[in-house]
Amino acid sequence: PEDTIASRFRLSGLCFLLQILTIILFAAFVRYSPESSSGPCSQQLNCSWKKQDSGFQHPRFRDVHLQAFLGFGLLVAFLSRYGPGSVAVSILIVAFAIQWAILIQGFLYFFQNGKIYMGAQSMVSADFCTTAVLISTGALLGRVNPSQMLLLTLLGVTLFTLNEYILLSLMGISDSGGSLTVHTFGAYFGLMVSRILHQPHMDKKKEQQDMGHQPDVFAVVGTIYLWIFWPSFTSATTVHNNAEPWAMLNTYFSLAASTLATFVLSPVLYEESTLRMVQIQDATLAGAAVMGMAGEMLVTPFGALAAGFLAGLMPPLGFRFLAPVLHSRLKTQDTCGVHNIHGLPGILGALLGTLLTALATADAYGGR
C-alpha cells in the first residue's frame, strides 16, 4: 500500500511539474502562426506558412488526431491483463507528447524572430511524433509505470525530432507517411528501452498474452479507425499536393492486400480455427507501415498490392519464428510485437521507397 501511495503521488507531482514547465515555455516562445490573423502578414514572418496552413490542413489534422487517439490509443489494449488501464496511459502520453513535440519541433522547424509560430501543420507534425511514441509503448507494456512512461515520452519526443530532422532536413529523405521516422523509429526505440529494462527472472505468467472478449472489442474498434483514417495519415505531409491522391490510393491497396495475407498464413501457423481480430489488426498496421515512404510515389496499384501482401506476411511469420529468437538471444520483451508489426514493415517500406526513388524519371513524375 505504501508503494502504491508513493507511486500515485509521484505521478501527480510529475504531471504537475511537466505541465507547469510546458506552460512557462509556451508563454515565452509559442505564438499563433500568421494563418490565424485576419490582418496582413508581417514582412518579418514567412508568409508561405499562411498558405501552407490554410483550410485544407484542418481536415488532415482532424484525421491524424483521431488516428493517434482512437487508432493507436486502442491498439495497446489488446491484452486483457492491461486493457482499459493501458488506454488511459495512452491518452496521458498523447496529451503530454503533443505539447512537448510542439516545443521541440518548433525550435527546429517553426522558429523565427525568437518565437515558435504554430499552426495546423505543426499540430500534424506533433501528432506524427506522438504516434511514434505510442508505437514504442507497445514494446514496454507491463514493465513501466505511468511516471516512467512520461519520462520516456520526454526522451522519445526529443530523439524522434532529432532523428526526423537529420533524415528529412539534412539528408533530404522523403518520408511523408513515416516508414522510417514513425514506424521504424518507434519500434526500435521501444525495443532498445525494453532491452535495457529486461529482467531475467520475471514471472513467466506475466509473459503470457491473455486474449479475451474485451480485448477483441478494442481490436475491432482500433482496426476500423486504422482503415478509415490511415490513408489521410499517409498523405497528411506529402511534399506536393498532387501526390496526395497517390498516397491515399496506394495505402488503401496496401491495407487490403496485407489483410488478405494474414488469412493466408495465420490458419497454417496457428491452431485456432478462426482468425482473431488482433491478427487482422497487426496485418493492417503492417500494410500501412510499408506505404509510409513509398505511398506518395508512383508505386502503381499492383505494386501497392504486392508490397502490402509482403508486409502482411511479416507479423504472423515474425510472431511464430522471430519473436522467440529475439527474446532468447537478445533478451528483448516485445509485448505487442512492434518489431514484427512496425519495425520490419517500416524497413521494407524504406527499401521500397529507395528503389522507387532510384528508378524515378522526369517523364513519369512530370514537374515533381
Instruction: Please give the Cα distance from 254 to 231 (Å, whole number).
Output: 10
Residues 4-31: pLDDT tens digits? 778 788 999 999 999 999 999 999 999 9
Instruction: Please give the Cα distance from 287 to 230 (Å, whole number).
Output: 10
Instruction: Please give the Cα distance from 78 to 87 (Å, whole number).
Output: 10
Instruction: Please give the Cα distance from 6 to 4 (Å, whole number).
Output: 5
Q: Are 326 and 339 in contact (CB under 8 A)?
A: yes
Q: How many CA atoms lie within 13 A of 116 on its CB side?
A: 22
Q: Are 151 and 91 in contact (CB under 8 A)?
A: no
Region class of 238: left (phi > 0), else alpha (psi between -120 and 50), else beta: beta
Provide the percentage of residues in the chain whose pLDDT is more than 70: 78
- pLDDT, position 56: 45
- pLDDT, position 186: 94
Cα-trace Rg, the chain: 21
Instruction: Please give the Cα distance from 203 to 260 (Å, whole number).
Output: 36
User: Any bridge partners for residue 207, and if so which?
Assistant: none
Q: Are 247 and 234 in contact (CB under 8 A)?
A: yes
Average pLDDT, the chain: 81
- pLDDT, position 58: 63
pTM for this predicted structure = 0.86
Rounded (10°) angle between helices 57-66 and 213-235: 160
C-alpha cell at 27: 508563454
Instruction: Please give the Cα distance from 270 to 38 (Å, whole number).
Output: 60
Residue 114 φ then ψ, to 5°: 80, 10
Stretches in the chain below the pLDDT threshold 50:
44-46, 48-52, 54-56, 203, 205, 208-213
| Cell 506536393 belongs to residue | 240
How crowded is residue 171: how many other Cβ atoms within 10 Å of its Cβ? Answer: 8
Domains of the chain, CATH where assigned? 58-198+211-360 (1.10.3430.10)
